[in-house]
A and B are shown apart, each in its own frame.
Chain A
Amino acid sequence: MLRYILKRLLIAIPLIFGVLTLTFFIIRLAPGDPAAFFIQPGISPNVAEQIRAQYGLNDPLPVQYVKWLANVLQGDFGRSFSRAQQPVVEVIASALPITITIALLTLVANFTFGILIGIISAVRQNSFLDRFLTVTALFFYSMPEFWFALMMIILFALKFPLFPASGLNEIGAEGFGPVGFLLDRVWHLVLPVTVLSINGAAGIARYVRGSMLEVIRQDYIRTARAKGLPEKLVIFRHALRNALLPVITIMGSSLPFIFSGALFIEVIFAFPGMGRVTVEAIFSRDYPLIIANTFISGTLIVLGNLFADVLYAVADPRIKI
C-alpha cells in the first residue's frame, strides 16, 4: 500500500507540472493585459510599459517560461500583480485555511445528510417519504448555487434576519471574548455551508439510494434477516457498509466540486478565501496568482483522488492496491 501511494505521488509530480505549464501558456496567450488598468487618460503612456517591465512581461514567452520555471523549482511563486506585490505564498496562506474550513464542514455535512437521506429513501422505497425526499433532492440538486445563495440571503438575512449576509465576523467581534468570537464565526458560516452542502447532499443521497437498493436485494441481506438480526444491524452493518463503497469514490472526487462551489460562495458571502482570490486573479490577469491557485487546486484534486483510492482499498478487502 505504501509503495502504491508513493508511486501515485511520484506520478502526480509531472502531472501537476504539466497542468502548471499549460496554465502558464494559456493565460499569457489569452487576451487581456495585467497592466491594462494603467492605460487610461491622464496616466502617462510610459506607466504601463514600466509596469510590464517590472512584471517581466516584456521578455519573449520562452524566456519568461524559463525564468518562471527556475523560480518555481526554488519554491518561489513570485509576487501578486493585483494585490500590492504581496508574495503569492502569503496571499494563499491567508486564504487557504478559510476555504479548507468551509470545504471540510461542507464535506461532513454533505455526507452526513446525503447518506441519511439516501438510506431513508432506499429503505422506504416508493413510500411517500421516499418520493418527497427524491423530489426535494432533485429540486436542490438542479438549483444553481449562486442563485440559491442569494435566495438564502434574502430569506434569512433580510426577511427573517437570523443570519448575517456576509463577512467572517461581526464588526467589533474581537470584543466578544474567545467563545463569543467563535460563536460569531460559526454563526457567519451557517448560511454558506448550508448552501454548499444542500446541493452536494442531494446528489450523494441519489447515489446512496441507488447503491443501497441494489445491496438490500442481495442474498446475504436476506440471510442476515433470516438469522434473526435486528433490522438496525442489518441496515447499518451489513447493507450500509457495502452500499457505501461507490460513495467513497465520490468523496475523493467531490473535493474539486466543493472547491469550485466555494468560488461562488466566497464571492457572494465576501469570504477572503481561495475562491475569491482565484476569481479576482483571473479578472485582473494576475498571472503569478492564477498559477499558484492552479497548483493548489491541482494538488488537492490529485490528493483527493488518491485518498479515494486508498479508502476504497481500506473499505473493501477484495481490492488490492
Chain B
Amino acid sequence: MIKQAPVRFSASLRFVVSLSLFFVVFALSSCGGRQAGSGKARTAMDSTLVIAMLGDADYLNPVLGSTVTSSNIMGLIYPSLLQSEFDTSTGLLNYVALNKKLRQTTAGEAKKIPEGAVARSWNFSADHKTLTYTLRSDVFWNDGKPVVSGDFKFTYMLYGNPVIASARQQYLAELVGAEKGQVDFDKAIETPNDTTLVFRFYKPVPEHLALFHTSLTPLPAHHWKNVKPGDLRNSPLNIEPLGAGPYHLKSWTQQQELVLASSPKSLLPKPGNIPLVSFRVVPDYTVRLTQLQTGAVDVVENIKPEDFTALLKANRQLEIKTVGLRVYDYVGWSNIDQKEYHKSGKVIPHPLFGSAKIRLALTHAIDRESIIDGYLKQYGVVCNTDVSPSLKWAYNARITPHAFDPARATALLKAEGWLPGSDGILQKQGKRFSFVLYTNSGNARRNYASVIIQQNLRSIGIDCKLDVQESNVFFENLHQRKLDAWMAGWAIGLEIDPLDVWGSDLNKSRFNFTGYQNPRVDQLCDLAKQKMDPLGAKPYWLEYQEILHRDQPVTFLYWMQETQGFSKRIEGEELNIAGSFYNIDDWRLRPSANIAQ
C-alpha cells in the first residue's frame, strides 16, 4: 500500500490569503483615492447636470440628426427661427417670434421665452401662400458671425437635396416646385436682405402648418458652404457643431459621454443656467436605475411603473415626473385577408377579424382596466381612438369607452355565428377561432398585457397563442402586412394627421397595417386639412373619433404617461408633452451642501 505523504500546503494557502488581502487593500485604497478626489468631484457635480441616455447621439447636424437624443442636444446648440410651445389648456401648438405670437396663450400655461427666436416677426399673406419673416440683427453664431436669412435658405436647400436623404424633407412638401417633384429654391425661398426671409407655397397652407414647416433648424452657411452635399454625412464638421444657442459642445467621447457647456455670449435666449450638461450613455436599464439611486446621474427617462416604489424608497432625493399623453398601445386585427391581398390584390374581409362586430366583441372581451391597474397604475388611461386626450381642442370627450363585458362579447360572437365547439373553442362552419398574437421582444409592458389578453380571450372561447419576435423581424412583418393579429404602439405627433394609418389607399397609406378602409375617414381627413384654422376642423375630428370607436379597426388599449426619474437637486424644470427637456436651459442645480442627506 502506498502511503500518501502528508501534504504541507501552507505556502499556497499563505499565497491565497495574501492575494485576498491585496485585493481588500486595493479596494480600500482606491476608495481612499476617490475620497481624496471627492472634493473636486463634488465641485464638478455641483456644476454638472448628468442625463443618462440609452444610446449616443448620431449627427449633431439638424439636416441629418434623426434620434430623439440628437434633437434634444441640437435644440440646445442651434438657433431656431421660432420658439414652439404647447398650450396645455387647449392642446394646440403655438409659435412665438420675438414680437409676435400665433395665438395668445393663457398666462402660466406655456413657458417659452420669445427671446429664443431668431425671427422678430412674420407676415402671412391673405392668400396663405407667402410667409415673410423679419429676422433679428443682434444674434450671432459662436464664431461671431451674424445669423442671417441666407443661413436658412442654405440649410433648406440641404434639407431638400435627395442626395442627402434628410429625414425632414417632408417639411418642404408645400414649397413652390414641390408639386412637380423638385422644390424650385430660387422661387420658393427668397432672401432680399440679411434680415428678410420669404417662403412661397404652391398652394394655400394653414398658418400654423406654414410656421411649423418653415422653422427647421439652420446651419451656419459660411461654415458649411464648402462641404459637397454628397460628403455631408461624412463631414468632420458634424462632430464639431457651430451653433448659436444657450449651449455649445465641449467634448464628445462617442458612445460614452457628450458634454455641453453654457455659451456665455448667447442671446438665444441667454447662456444656459447650469454650466455643464453631460449626456452619459448607459445602455442597460437596471444600471441606469442604480445610477439614479446613487446620484451618479440626475435624469433617467422612461422608468417602468413597477420600479417606482423601490426607487423612491431607496433615495428620497428623487421624484417621478410625468409627460403625456402621447403614446398608446393597441391590438391590431387584420381587417382584410392579407394573403388574398398579397396574391391577387383583392380586398376581402379577414376570415376572423373582417367584421366590425367581431372586433367590437374582442374589445369588449379584453379587460383593459386590469392591465392598467396591474401595470401602468395611475400612469395609464383607457384609449378610445388615436386622438389623445391631451389634444383637448380635438378630443371627443363624449365617447364612452367600450366596457369590459365578456357576456356582451359572447353575444356579439354568437350573432355572427361563432358557437362553442366540443373543445370549448368557438367554431363557425368548422373553423376554430384560433390565431397567433405577435409582439416585439424586450417590452415588459406588452408582455404583461398580452398574457392578460390571452386569458381574457380564452375565457370566452377564443384560442390566442402568443409569439414574441425580435423587433426588426416583427416590424418588417408588420410593414409587409404579414401578421393577422399583433400588439404594438404608436407615439402620435402633435398635429393630427392620421391618413397614413387609416387611409383607404393601401399602397399609399404605408402604416395602415390592418387594411382598414372607410371612405368617410378619408373624406374627413381631407376636409380637416383644407381648414385654414385648426379649430375649424374640430367637428371633422369629433366625427372621425366616433367612426373609429364604432368600427374598431384595432382594439385601442391604453394611453401611457411617459415617466421620468429626476433628482430633486434640479429646480425650475418644466416637463411638457413637447419633450422632457423642454426648458433645460432654464434649469438650476441646488448645490450639494443644501441637499438634506
Would A165 and B30 be within 8 Å (CB), given that A171-B278, A222-B2 are in contact? Answer: no
Given A37-B66, A42-B493, verify A167-B33 contact (CB < 8 Å): no
Query: How many A-B pairs fall under 8 Å by CB?
Result: 190
* Chain B contacts for A150, CB-based, 8 A: 286
The answer to whether A31 and B472 touch across the interface, beta carbons within 8 angstroms, is yes
Q: Write the chain A residue with the least CB distance to B233.
A: A85
Decide: B8 and A272 in contact? CB cutoff 8 A.
no
Residue-wise, chain A 46-58 has the 8 Å CB interface mask toward B (1 for contact) of: 1100110110000
Closest residue on chain B to residue A273 by CB atoms = B255
Count of B interface residues, CB-CB < 8 Å: 75
- CB-defined contacts of A53 to chain B, threshold 8 Å: 165
Query: Are A270 and B284 in touch, CB under 8 angstroms?
Result: yes
Residues of B within 8 A of A268 (CB): 284, 286-287
Closest Cβ–Cβ distance, residue B386 to chain A (whole Å): 11
Question: Which residues of chain B are within 8 angstroms of A85 by Cβ–Cβ distance?
Answer: 233-234
Distance of A269 Cα from B280 Cα, bound (Å): 12
Q: Could you tell me if B48 and A172 are in contact, using CB atoms closer than 8 angstroms?
A: yes
- In the bound assembly, the distance between CA atoms of A164 and B31 in angstroms comes to 11
B278 pairs with A158, CB closer than 8 A: no
Neighbour of A50 across the interface among B162, B473, B510, CB < 8 A? B162
Number of A interface residues in the complex (CB < 8 A): 71
A15, CB-defined interface residue at 8 Å: no
B13 nearest CB neighbor, chain A only: A120
Q: Tell me the residues in window 235-269 of chain B with beta carbons closer than 8 Å to chain A beta carbons.
A: 238-239, 253-257
Residues of B within 8 A of A23 (CB): none
Measured between alpha carbons, how far is A283 from B75 in the docked complex, in Å? Answer: 27
- What's the least CB distance linking B546 to chain A, in Å? 22
Main secondary structure of the interface of A (DSSP, over half): helix
Distance of A83 Cα from B283 Cα, bound (Å): 15
Among A59-67, A179-187, A294-302, the stretch that binds chain B is A179-187
Interface-side segment among B201-209, B288-296, B409-417: B288-296
A32 contacts B2, C-beta separation under 8 Å: no
Residue of B nearest to A183 (CB): B33
* Contact across chains for B233 and A84 when beta carbons are under 8 A apart: yes
CB-contacts of B10-69 with A (<8 A):
11-13, 15-16, 27, 29-31, 33-34, 36-37, 40-41, 44-45, 48, 50, 55-56, 58-59, 64, 66
B40's partner among A38, A176, A231 (CB-CB below 8 A) is: A176
| A168, A270, A277 pick with most chain B CB within 10 angstroms | A270
Which 3 pairs across A and B sit closest by C-beta, in order of nearness? A172-B44, A32-B472, A50-B165
26 A-B residue contacts at CB 8 Å? A31-B473, A33-B476, A36-B479, A41-B493, A44-B169, A44-B173, A47-B166, A47-B167, A54-B165, A83-B58, A85-B233, A120-B9, A120-B12, A123-B12, A153-B290, A154-B290, A165-B294, A171-B41, A172-B40, A172-B41, A172-B45, A172-B48, A184-B34, A267-B283, A269-B284, A272-B281
Residues in chain A within 8 A of chain B (CB atoms): 31-33, 36-47, 50-51, 53-54, 79, 82-86, 94-95, 116, 119-120, 123-124, 150, 153-154, 157-158, 161-168, 170-172, 175-176, 180, 183-184, 186-187, 190, 222, 225, 231-232, 235, 267-270, 272, 276-277, 280, 283, 285
